[in-house]
Amino acid sequence: MPASLRSFLLFRYAQFLAVFGLRARALEFLELLLQGEPNHRRALTFSAFIDAQFGRYDAAIRKFTRAAELKPVDGDTLFNLGFTLQQVGRHEEAIARFQQATDANPNLDRAWYGMGISFDKLGRYEQAAEKFKEAARIQPFNPYAGYHLASAWSKLGRRDMVEAEYQRIKGFDPKVAAQMERDFGAGRP
């Protein structure tokens, strides 16, 4: 069987297994594919997702890193690498990968959001606010970017900015606005 057909069939079968919730079995087929074709980018990213779901973050980071090396302008892969690094508390590295993702795709709102989360975890609230603000600009109806933006403003003592974000969110997501009332005292005199 030609190598390209073998790779195609292994990848498709792994997808099929994953659709039916058989992720561990899907991973076996992806690993088999990667033994014969270690630079198969789609297999690297797909197996990295599954590794991360199983809590095998080191393997996921290794595979996402390799996939990013193969196509350094793929914002989605860079985002996934940043997100995985973030899950294990490697926030400086995550920020660097999220930044690469936004360089590759400036409209990748989840990468801006991810940077905001990591800056917040590092106590760098001004930078967190900048990143959440950009995520909210790109995706104005994402209440979570707005919530975290208000949180950063609250940590900076910027009550006026918390109120402004609260009023914006209240217009389209009353549940998140209610959470902002509880968490930040928004909407109160």
pLDDT number for residue 1? 61
pLDDT number for residue 119? 98
HEC profile of the chain: CCHHHHHHHHHHHHHHHHHCCCHHHHHHHHHHHHHHCCCCHHHHHHHHHHHHHCCCHHHHHHHHHHHHHHCCCCHHHHHHHHHHHHHCCCHHHHHHHHHHHHHHCCCCHHHHHHHHHHHHHCCCHHHHHHHHHHHHHHCCCCHHHHHHHHHHHHHCCCHHHHHHHHHHHHCCCHHHHHHHHHHHCCCCC
Fold of 1-71: 1.25.40
124-168: pLDDT as tens digits: 999 999 999 999 999 999 999 999 999 999 999 999 999 999 999
Mean pLDDT of the region 55-65: 97
Fold of 72-189: 1.25.40
pLDDT number for residue 52? 96
**Sequence ranges of the chain with CATH classification 1.25.40.10:** 1-71, 72-189
pLDDT number for residue 144? 96
